[in-house]
Structure 1
């Protein structure tokens, strides 16, 4: 079993901000997407469409406080991401993981989803 992708549903205005944020900050690449009824974008990492951005309303069954806490990515170097976040004025927190040779960077995307990026140190 492995994670295939995650999906964010929002207005087109928000999707454009999200697309720009994830391509600029994390280096994801906008790529081919099937011709679905709803508009959107697929963002690729390592040649795979890992983030789907779909135009629409948040599902009515979504709880007021969703249980999904964050989405995590892995990179070889956190510094370019930290520098990009700083240049955009996006607050972030960097910390070392106790007992692991791992450092993580945590921040929020334009619609408030917590993002974690991990790298070996």
Structure 2
């Protein structure tokens, strides 16, 4: 679950930037948004520890932020994606900062961006989609001695 200070703004970001749509979810007794691609729920959004009510705290057992067992070790969330050029245009139009990388073996072209809560999002595109698109960094360059 993405723990957000503003769950509606976070919902809107995932819809606007990543093309997800809010969909059905169980009634937990506290506000949540489940974001879907097609018929599959992909990202769950709920209140951060700062905004969590007693029901949420009891249901989840704890909130990750502010506890001694934080889930802050997660570096990023990765998604397979298609439509590299249209995604690049969309991110630029929405003024979403991102970086471009090419993975080893040239099999993946990657975009990295951040959601409103500081969570790093990785979008992985097939290398064939990146013909003529120069990445800012290639992983193979980092391994040269």
When the two structures are superposed, what TM-score results if normalisation uses the length of structure 2? 0.70
Q: Which residue of 2 aligns with 1:26?
A: 18
Which of the pair is proportionally richer in strand?
A: 1
Give the whole-Å Cα distance in 2 for the aligned partners of 1:89 and 1:62: 36
In 1, Cα distance between equivalents of 2:91 and 2:68:
29
- Structure 1 residue 95 displacement after superposition: 1.6
Larger Rg over CA atoms: 2
- 2-side partners of 1:104 and 1:10: how far apart? 25
Higher helix share: 2
Structure 1 match to 2:86: 80
Whole-angstrom distance in 1 between the partners of 2:13 and 2:33: 13
Instruction: Show CA shifts across 1:41-72 (max 9, x none).
Output: 10012311111111241533266892110000
Structure 1 residue 102, shift from structure 2 partner:
1.2
In 1, the alpha carbon distance for the partners of 2:68 and 2:33 equals: 22
* Dislocated runs of 4+, deviation >6 Å: none
Which runs of no fewer than 5 residues in structure 2 stay unpaired?
50-62, 128-145
Shift of 1:20: 1.0
Alignment check: 8 A CA contact 1:108 1:114 kept:
yes
* Aligned partner (choices 61, 67, 84) of residue 67 of structure 2: 61
Deviations 1:73-101 (A, max 9, x none): 11122222222221222210112112132
Larger relative contact order, structure 1 or 2 (CA cutoff 8 Å, min sep 6): 1
Change (3 A) 1:21 1:85: same
SS at match of 1:42: strand
